[in-house]
Structure 1
C-alpha cells in the first residue's frame, strides 16, 4: 500500500512551503503578522493581540442590557451634555423643522385618467390630509400634537432611544371626522412580558416569523418597566403589526438606524460617541470651573517671621493685643487704583492659576471634529460656527444636508407615508373620497403616491444660489420643480399658481409688474 501515501510533486512543494513558514519565528513587532495575509486579522501583532471581538447575531451584538444602558446614557447626554443636545436638536430642526408637508401626486397614467382629473384628485386628497394633520384631536391619540409636531417627537425619540413605535388605534371622538389615531410608544414600553428572556421568535418585545423574520406583533407594557407603580400591576398587550382581515399596517416602527439584516431593535444616534462625549464634557466643565476660579482674583498676605511683627493674624489673638502689636486695622480689600498700607511684616502675594488654558480650544475642536465625523455632522454645522471662508462653510452645509435628506427619507418611509395611506383608507371607507378600484393594491398605490417636502436648505449667499439654480436649469441638468423645492420648500406648481394669480391681479388693477420685461415684437425676415 505504499502507493497510497505517495504524494505528487505539487503536494510535496506545498508541504515544504508550509514547513518553511511554520519554522520561521513569528513576527512580534510592527512589520506584520506572518500567520495571516491581512494585518487586520493578525493575532500576534502587539497592536492587535488585545483586539479580539466576537461574531454574533444582531440581537446578541445589541443585547437588552447594553441597549438599555446606551438609551439611558443617550438621554442623559441629550439633557445635560452641550454637544450631545446640539447634535440631536440640529438633526430635528433640519430634518423636520416645522413639519414635512404632504403633496399628493396621483399617478394618473397608471389610473388611466387625464392630467386634469389627476390634479383634481390631488386637491381633494390634500384637503382631507390637511383636515386630519393640522388637528391634534384628529391625528393624535393623546389629542395634544399635530402630525407635524408628532414628526419631530418621533424623530427625537428614535434618535435618543434607537427606535420608536407608533400604534394606530381606532378611537371615536365627538366633533372629529376620522377615528384613526396615532399613538407614539417609547422604546422602553416595548419589551417581553414580565421580563421573560428572548426566544427564537421574540426579541425585546418584537414577535416575528421564524422563517422570514417578518414582524408579527409587538408587546406593549402599560407603563415603564423600570418604574414602580403601586396603584396597579403592570400588564402587557399584544398588538398585531398587520391587520388580520385587511393586511393594513397597524404598527409602525420608526428607526434611528437599521444597519444589519434581521435587526429587530435600534441603537441610539449617540451610541458610538458616548465615551468621547462624556470625557469632553468633563474636560470642558473642568476648564470652565478653572476659569471661574481664576476670575476670583485672590491676594495672600504673607506674615513676617517675627512674632512681635504680626506673625499671626489679629483674629487668632482674641481681644488681647501683645505689647508693640500693630493696632486694629480695617479689613484689607482690593479696589480700583487703591493704595493699601499694610501692617509691618505683611507682604502681598498673588496666585496665578494660568487660566484660561490656551490649548483648550484646539483640543476641544479636534475632538469635536471626530465626534461630528461619526455623526455625519461637520463641526461647523454641529457648533453653528462658520468661521472659515464661504466655500468651506457652504461645503460643510451641503455635506450635512446629505445626511439630513437621508434621515428625512427614512422618516417619510417609516412614519409619514404609512400614516397618510391609513388616512386615505379611512376616507375611502367613510365615503369622503370616491376612488374607483381602490381595493386593487396597484391602484391603491397609484392613488396614495405623494411627495413630502420639508423646510428648505437655505443659502449662505442667496444671489449665488439663485444664479447657480438658473444655470443648472438652462443647461438641462435640473428643472424648476427640483430647484423650487430645494430653495423654498414648496412645489413648483404651487408657486406657479400663486405667481399667476398675483400677475393677473396686478394687471387687472393696472399696476406695473415688478422687473417686468415687455416682449419685443418679432422682426419680419426679409427674403433675399
Structure 2
C-alpha cells in the first residue's frame, strides 16, 4: 500500500473511526487470504464450493436424495455392498456382548438370567424376529447406508406383555419416518422432523406412523405423532461440532464409485467387442457378388484348424478388435480411493491380497482397527447404553428383583489376530510387566472378564470334586521357542557326573 492509501486511511479514521476500523479489518482479511493459495479466487479454484454452513445445514434438503442414492448403490454396486458388509462384520461381528456388573455372584447370575431371556431372544424386537445382536447388525448397516437410524421404545402392558420378561420392545425405523412438514412445536423449533429445545438439544421426534414409501399403506393420508426423546435412540456418526444429524458414509465416494461402475460397464462392452473377429469379403467385379454369395457358407463356419477356400475373385480382410489396456491399474487406484474415503483397507474391500506381505497387511489392518474401535464405541454409546437405560427403567418399574441395583458392561467382538503366537505373547508380557491389565486384554479379544472369572472358578470347583489336578498353564509355542533361544550356554550345559 502506497502513501496515498495510508493518507486515505488516516483521513477516514479521523472523520469516521468506525468506517476506518472496518476498512483496516477488511484489508487484514484480504492480506490473510492472499497468503493461502487455496483461498484465492481464480482459474485453478474455479468451481470449488465453500459454503459457510454448520454441520446439519451442510446436508439440509439433500439427506433424502443422499439416502436414496446410497441405498441404490448398496443394492446394485458390488463394491458398495461389499463395503457395507466389511463395516458390519468388523464393528458388530457376532455381537457386542452385554454382561451384568454386580458384587454378588449369585445376584449377578439371577439378573443375567432375566436379561438374557429378554435381550438375547426375539422378545426384544417389536416384530418378534431379531435378538440384540441381530438388531446391532441392522443398526450399523443402516447407519452406513442412510447415515442414521432411529430405535423406538414400545411399552408393552397387559396382554401384549404377558410373555415378556421386561415390559418393552425395540422397533427400528428408518429416518424416512421423520415428518419434514412440521416447523415448530410451541416455542421449540422443528427442523426436518427433529424438535429442538430453546437450548439446542433434541426434545422430541415427529414420526410418521407408517413409512412414506411403504407398499402396504393402511391409511389414505400420512399421519405423524410426537415422540419424546426418552423413547427414541438416534444412532449416527457425528463429524462436526454441533452436528445432530448423520449423512451416508458413501457420500464422499459416490461420484468416484459411480464413475468407476460406468467405466467397468464400458470396459465389459469393450471386451465383448474385442472378442469379436469378423471377416469382410470383397470382390474385384460387382457382377460376381450375386453368384458367389452361396459359396461363402464354409467361410462363415470357421472352426479351429479348419481350411476353407474362399470363392474365386474374393478377397478376405479381417477386422482389428480394440485392445483393453491399463484396466487393472486404473481399477486398483480407484478402489483404493473408495476404501480410503470409507475408512477401510483396499484389501478388505476387494478381497485381493496379491502384492501384500505380512508387514504391509498388518499395518493397514492396524489403521482400519482404529476406525473400527471408534465405530464400535459409537454403537455402544448411542444404542447399547440406550438399551441399558430402558432396561434399568423397566427393571425399577416392574420390581423384578427389588432392591438389587446393577450395571451393564458392553464388550465388542474380538479383532482377528494376524499372528496369534507373537501377539498373544506380547499381551502376556504387557500384563506381567504392568503395562496392561488382564481384564483390558480380555476385552480387546472380545471376551467378558466376568464370565471368564466365573467359568474358571467353576472349572476349578468341578475338577477338585472329580479329583483332577489343575492343568498347568503353558506359554504359547512361539513364546516357548523364543525363550528357548534366549537360554545361555551355561544354563544348557550338562553337569558332570
TM surpasses 0.5: yes
Q: Note the C-alpha offset of 1:363.
A: 1.6
Q: 1:417 aligns with which of 378, 385, 405?
A: 385
- Provide the rounded CA distance (Å) in 2 between the counterparts of 1:482 and 1:335: 69
Q: 2:116 aligns with which of 126, 130, 135?
A: 130
Q: Deviations over 1:402-424 (max 9, x none)?
A: 11111111111111111122123
Range that drifts further, 166-175 or 489-498 = 489-498
Q: Note the C-alpha offset of 1:498.
A: 3.1
Kept in 1, the 8 Å contact 2:118–2:124? The answer is yes
- Provide the rounded CA distance (Å) in 2 between the counterparts of 1:366 and 1:205: 40
Q: 2:449 aligns with which of 470, 474, 492?
A: 492
2:294 aligned with 1:298, yes or no?
A: no
Q: 1:461 aligns with which of 419, 433, 436?
A: 419
Q: Note the C-alpha offset of 1:329.
A: 4.1
SS in 2 for 1:201: strand
Q: Deviations over 1:278-317 (max 9, x none)?
A: 111111222233224433x4231322222354x3xxxxx5
| C-alpha spacing 1:63/1:287, structure 2 compared with 1 (3 Å) | same
| C-alpha spacing 1:166/1:44, structure 2 compared with 1 (3 Å) | closer
Match in the other structure for 1:18: none
Range that drifts further, 378-387 or 226-235 = 226-235
Q: Note the C-alpha offset of 1:131.
A: 0.9
- Provide the rounded CA distance (Å) in 1 between the counterparts of 2:473 and 2:126: 51
Matches within 5 A, 1:96-111: 96-106=92-102
Match in the other structure for 1:169: 154
Matches within 5 A, 1:347-496: 347-355=316-324, 357=325, 359-387=326-354, 388-435=356-403, 447-448=406-407, 450-487=408-445, 489-496=446-453
Q: Deviations over 1:139-193 (max 9, x none)?
A: 111112111111111111122112111111112234222221111110111123x
Match in the other structure for 1:56: 53
Kept in 2, the 8 Å contact 1:381–1:400? The answer is no
Match in the other structure for 1:277: 257
Q: Between Structure 1 and Structure 2, how many residues are aligned?
A: 446
- Provide the rounded CA distance (Å) in 1 between the counterparts of 2:424 and 2:120: 32
| C-alpha spacing 1:500/1:334, structure 2 compared with 1 (3 Å) | farther
Kept in 1, the 8 Å contact 2:282–2:316? The answer is yes
Q: Deviations over 1:362-393 (max 9, x none)?
A: 12221222222222212123223333110111
| C-alpha spacing 1:326/1:43, structure 2 compared with 1 (3 Å) | closer
2:201 aligned with 1:209, yes or no?
A: no
Kept in 1, the 8 Å contact 2:154–2:170? The answer is yes
| C-alpha spacing 1:435/1:396, structure 2 compared with 1 (3 Å) | farther
Range that drifts further, 360-369 or 397-406 = 360-369
Q: Note the C-alpha offset of 1:55.
A: 1.1
- Provide the rounded CA distance (Å) in 2 between the counterparts of 1:328 and 1:48: 62
Match in the other structure for 2:33: 36
2:238 aligned with 1:250, yes or no?
A: no
Q: Deviations over 1:199-253 (max 9, x none)?
A: 971011111112x112111111122335685852111111111xxxxxxx22111
Q: Deviations over 1:443-489 (max 9, x none)?
A: xxxx32x22123210112222222222222222222222222323x2
Kept in 2, the 8 Å contact 1:198–1:204? The answer is no
SS in 2 for 1:164: strand
Kept in 1, the 8 Å contact 2:182–2:193? The answer is no
Match in the other structure for 1:86: 82
- Provide the rounded CA distance (Å) in 2 between the counterparts of 1:167 and 1:516: 48
Match in the other structure for 1:225: 212
TM-score, L = length of structure 1: 0.76
- Provide the rounded CA distance (Å) in 2 between the counterparts of 1:273 and 1:291: 26
Q: 1:287 aligns with which of 255, 258, 267?
A: 267
TM-score, L = length of structure 2: 0.80
| C-alpha spacing 1:264/1:304, structure 2 compared with 1 (3 Å) | same
Q: Deviations over 1:332-373 (max 9, x none)?
A: 323232223333314251432213x3x112122212222222
Q: What is the Cα-based RMSD across aligned positions, in Å?
A: 3.2
- Provide the rounded CA distance (Å) in 2 between the counterparts of 1:340 and 1:173: 83
- Provide the rounded CA distance (Å) in 2 between the counterparts of 1:501 and 1:224: 50
More helix by share: 2
Q: Deviations over 1:34-56 (max 9, x none)?
A: 67353156434432354352312
